[in-house]
Structure 1
Amino acid sequence: MIKIAPEISLVITTYNSPAFLELVLKSVLRQHVFPLEVIIADDGSGEETRQLIDRYRKIMPVPLIHSWIPDEGFRLSKSRNVAIVKAKGSYIVNIDGDMVLMPHFIEDHRSLMKENQFVAGSRARLKEKETLRHCENLNAEFHLWSKGLGRRLVLLRIPFMHYWIKGRSGLSRARGGHLAFWKKDFMEINGFEERFNGWGYEDSEFVQRLYNKGVMRKNAKLLAGAVHLYHKEKTDDRASKNMELLQDTIENSNKKAILGADQYI
């Protein structure tokens, strides 16, 4: 009989990257404890992604939900908001579709759940050559000494030592690619801000509003390991405008998104 964490909805963002998404879904199948459901927050992917999700829906032991929005440019915040509003779990573990999970990932996040806290996770980084090899071989298995890993110590799992390591504070490395939070906190700050245009700073602004609400940060040190698959970093000439939105949230202690999740209730 499979073990399920009934509080947790796992949300995976994706956009036209079925090779990466397949490795992520394979890593979900290897979990020692499964989430209540898996929701794909899809920013407008095509038919290949839909077929992949349909195929994995047949073998996933928990519901696999495809939350799709039309492809109208980079709308990560919207795709996340639409997906998370649908979530039945009281606790959201949000990852990007390039994050391959270690087998204790959901189990560890369940152990980290605490009221009035969110969790910022870490990730090892896989180099380009090894990313291509793992995609070609459909190999979602990693260990501490896997070839091509940067920041490999992130994969160390020592639960009893976790509480001795404080880790980073503030906005440093708190990204939506590996972030966990209570759904009620998400709804109270109105989710991700959809006024962000293009890539950049939407994760930091979301985390800042959690801080402004009084939600404290916990770091998933020595727990909940994951491997980030290589891809070219995104750049966007609209990032300076996005930075202004972040600065406004910091300076004015904004708690709620103006254009956020309440549109989908």
Structure 2
Amino acid sequence: MTKISQDISLIITTYNNPAFLELILKSILSQRLMPLEVIIADDGSTYETRVLIDSYRKFFSVPLIHSWIPDEGFRVAKSRNKAIARAKGNYIVIIDGDIVVNKYFISDHNALKKIGYFVTGSRARLKEEATINHCQNKDERFDLFSKGLTRRLVMLRIPYAHKFIKGHSGLKNARSCHMAFWKDDFINVNGFEEDFEGWGFEDSEFVQRLYNNGLKRKNAKLMAPAVHLYHKESNTDNAINNRRILEETINSHKKKATKGILQYLDSSITNAIK
């Protein structure tokens, strides 16, 4: 019988890409340790995504929750905040809707979690043709030797050697496409900043506020392997304005988002952390 974590809620962001989402859901079904729940943070997908999620519920031994917001542009911060507000786990693992995970993904994050720290993970990259093939075949399986992979060394899983590799620090490669943190820490910084418009720097700004609150970073090197499926780059029209928000957070040592998760939480929780 597959074990279920009593601590970890897994959050998956998605937007109108059921082919990718299906591969991700299949990879979660193969976990050696299942999360307490899986919450899909949906930034306004159409009916096809809802049908897919509904069809997969019967295969899951844990709740598969669809947290949907209307499509009003790129609002991944809001979709994540609302999903995490619903989470019952006290530890949150988040992945983007283009990340397929190894069967030890959740168990590795369970081993990596530590009070006072957040975790950032790496991912191998799958080329366009290979991504198309895996989607057509509904094949979620990847290993070090899979065709079409770049950065394939990320697929190495050597837990006992993890402690000998420090990895990146600061904001370098701190991406919310593969990240984990305590829910209390997330609430304490007021989650993701919803003042960002469009793609760019919302994850770096979130990480900077974690640093501003005294948290330290761990890297999941040689653990929690994952694969990034190929897709066209996001629109970066708002990147300059978003970079300005990040720089303001760095320069002012800002600790809490102006508009974040607190608006979705019970008042007793928000009053307790003010």
Q: CA deviation at 1:237?
A: 1.4
- Equivalent residue for 1:253? 253
Q: CA deviation at 1:236?
A: 2.0
- Equivalent residue for 2:98? 98
The DSSP-based 3-state class of the residue aligned with 2:51 is helix
Amino acid at match of 2:155: L
- Equivalent residue for 1:68? 68
- Equivalent residue for 2:269? none
- Equivalent residue for 1:79? 79
How far apart are the structure 1 equivalents of 2:112 and 2:236?
34
How far apart are the structure 2 equivalents of 1:6 and 1:121?
22
The runs of at least 4 aligned residues of structure 1 exceeding 3 Å deviation read: none
After superposition, residues 1-265 of structure 1 pair within 5 angstroms as 1-265=1-265
How far apart are the structure 1 equivalents of 2:206 and 2:69?
21
1:200-237 deviation digits (Å, cap 9, x = unpaired): 00000000000000010000000000000000111321
The DSSP-based 3-state class of the residue aligned with 1:118 is strand
Q: Alignment identity in percent?
A: 65
Q: CA deviation at 1:87?
A: 0.2
The DSSP-based 3-state class of the residue aligned with 2:35 is strand
TM-score by length of 1: 0.99
Q: CA deviation at 1:5?
A: 1.3
How far apart are the structure 1 equivalents of 2:36 and 2:24?
17
- Equivalent residue for 2:270? none
CA RMSD of aligned residues (A): 0.5
How far apart are the structure 1 equivalents of 2:162 and 2:179?
17
TM-score by length of 2: 0.96
Amino acid at match of 1:22: E
How far apart are the structure 2 equivalents of 1:108 and 1:4?
13
How far apart are the structure 2 equivalents of 1:234 and 1:40?
20
Q: Work out whether residues 92 and 180 of structure 2, in 8 Å CA contact, stay in contact via their aligned partners in 1.
A: yes
How far apart are the structure 2 equivalents of 1:68 and 1:176?
19
1:10-63 deviation digits (Å, cap 9, x = unpaired): 000000000000000000001111000000000000000000000111111110
How far apart are the structure 1 equivalents of 2:5 and 2:162?
20
Amino acid at match of 2:104: H
Amino acid at match of 1:51: V
Q: Work out whether residues 11 and 92 of structure 2, in 8 Å CA contact, stay in contact via their aligned partners in 1.
A: yes
Amino acid at match of 2:145: W
How far apart are the structure 2 equivalents of 1:172 and 1:28?
28
Q: Work out whether residues 198 and 235 of structure 2, in 8 Å CA contact, stay in contact via their aligned partners in 1.
A: no
Instruction: Show structure 2 runs of 5+ residues with no match.
Output: 266-274
Q: CA deviation at 1:240?
A: 0.5
| Count of matched residue pairs | 265
How far apart are the structure 1 equivalents of 2:55 and 2:173?
34
